[in-house]
Amino acid sequence: MAADAQPASHMSNASPLALLLNIGHALDHLFLLIFATAVSAIAADFALARWEDLMPYTVGAFVMFGLASMPAGRLGDLWGRRAMMVIFFFGIGASSFLVAATQNAWQMAAALTVLGTFAAIYHPVGIPMLVQNAQRPGLTIGINGLAGNLGIASAALLTGLLVKFFGWRMAFIVPGVISMLCGVLFLMLTPKEAMAPAKRPRTTQPLPRAVMLRIVFVMTATAVTANLIFNFTTNGNGELLRERFRGIVEDPATLGILLAAVYGVGSFAQLIVGRLIDKHPLKRLYLGIACVQVPLFALAAFSDGWALWALAIGFMAFVFGAIPFIDAMIVRYVDDAMRSRVTGLRLAIGLGVSSFAVWLLGPLVKASGFTTLLLAMAAISACTVAFIALLPGEAQTRPVPVPAPAE
């Protein structure tokens, strides 16, 4: 394919572009969770008595991860998605080196905020770029979600090993080098865009305004609740295992392996859900997955040791399994010419609100413990179920192609 050509009409999940975009998703989530995995070691290095006292300093990263999604999505549609992904790979790599150089909590807060700003680029730009020519968008989103969750698992495993043998700073430096290398490969192997997405002609007619507003409300509300749960779990699971395995397993590297196994096994739920999305109604599938989260979190609240670990695999499978639905709704209901902007808007609201989960995590656990946190997540899952019930049915949202222009 020529360097200045558009991508093929149907992009394979094994193409260089798809592979690099999936690796980018893995890196995006890995970078955001290195801190949560290494927080105990960082707190000790910064002479803080408890890890909970350091958690609020990471809130800037997650606020920007949400708020910066809106301008990133706008630039992706109006300027070009390829250029924004190049900025993503090099920017997040460079900012990870900045984090590794910090010497106190406030420097850490500033550096993590910069990292979160670059991390915001991926979801509103990379996922629309990946699905714009996909034959089976559900499967494509599922594979991409699996890649993102394997990044979460890698954060637990890689960070645990690097912290144990080389210190927490190397846990940021090594992924930073990998991201820089991916940026070089992305420049070399991916085709340039002949036209920005916003300048391309529409392929489907817009849905009725009332139906579209209802869909946007459901997407935004479920993004808030789903991201609250995602942030609480992925940022808190490491310390949850550390507390509930006390006296059973206490080696940081072994706990990292157990946590990686939770994420690794749970991650494959997205692949299964992605395949189901291409064959079954979105609303019915999403309702079922959200409903199962409620009892799993409630049971985990009162469990310890290996029982807690088995339940963690269960609830993370259903947390991860819920992730593809919002992207699938955007692919199904929003024309490609404006997908990055719509994705950026819902991320800015959903992640912007849910980012405070990271700020609340340390103080909430310190004051009330993980039992209260897990019960709160069961209640949030119940809210997700209520929002999904408002989603219009398939008959109201069936896309209508734009008629071909008369010759």
- Count the domains in the chain: 1
Tens of pLDDT, residues 284-307:
889 999 999 999 999 999 998 899
389 three-class SS: coil
Q: Which two tokens stand for residue 280?
A: 């079954």
Report d(CA 92, CA 70) in Å as an integer: 17
Q: Which domain holds residue 191?
A: 16-394
Answer with the residue of higher pLDDT: 112 or 329. Answer: 112
Q: Is residue 401 part of a domain?
A: no
> Does 400 map to a domain?
no
Q: What is the pLDDT of residues 66-76, one digit of tens each?
A: 888 888 888 88
What does DSSP assign to residue 77?
H
Looking at residue 255, its pLDDT comes to 81
More confident residue, 343 or 397: 343
Structure tokens belonging to residue 102: 């910090």
Model pLDDT, residue 173: 93
Residue 406, in any domain of the structure: no
Question: CA-to-CA distance for 66 and 45, rounded, in angstroms?
Answer: 29
Residue 34: which CATH number? Answer: 1.20.1250.20
Does residue 239 form part of some domain?
Answer: yes
Residue 1 has pLDDT above 50, yes or no: no
> Distance of alpha carbon 272 from its chain centroid, rounded?
17
pTM: 0.72
9 occurs within a structural domain:
no
Give φ, ψ of 133 to 5 degrees.
Answer: -125, 20
- Residues 58 and 107: their CA atoms lie apart, in Å, by 11
pLDDT of residue 4: 38
Q: What one-letter code names the amino acid at 48?
A: L
Give, as one character, the DSSP assignment of residue 400.
Answer: E
pLDDT digits (tens, 9 = 90+) for 225-237: 888 888 788 778 8
For the cut 90, the answer to whether the pLDDT of residue 399 exceeds it is no
Q: In this predicted structure, what is the pLDDT of residue 138?
A: 81
Percent of the chain with pLDDT over 90: 25
* Average pLDDT in the chain: 82
In this predicted structure, the answer to whether residue 396 has a pLDDT above a threshold of 60 is: no
C-alpha 64, offset from chain centre: 14
**Average of pLDDT values for 27-49?**
84
Residue 197 has pLDDT above 60, yes or no: yes
pLDDT tens-digit map of 82-96: 889 999 999 999 999
Asked whether residue 372 carries a pLDDT value surpassing 50, the answer given is yes
Determine, yes or no, domain membership for 405. no
Task: Band the pLDDT of 254: cuts 50, 70, 90.
Answer: confident
Q: Is residue 323 part of a domain?
A: yes
The pLDDT of residue 378: 94
User: What is the enclosing helix (H) or strand (E) of 334?
Assistant: none
Q: How far is Cα 258 from Cα 394, in angstroms, rounded to an integer? A: 40
> Minimal CA–CA distance to 142: which of 336, 337, 369, 331?
331
The pLDDT assigned to 3 comes to 37
| Residue 153 within any structural domain of the chain | yes
Per residue in 141-189, pLDDT (tens digit) is: 888 888 887 887 777 778 878 888 888 899 999 999 999 999 999 998 8
382, with CB counted inside 10 A (0-12, 13-18, 19+), is middle
Give the per-residue pLDDT at 2. 35
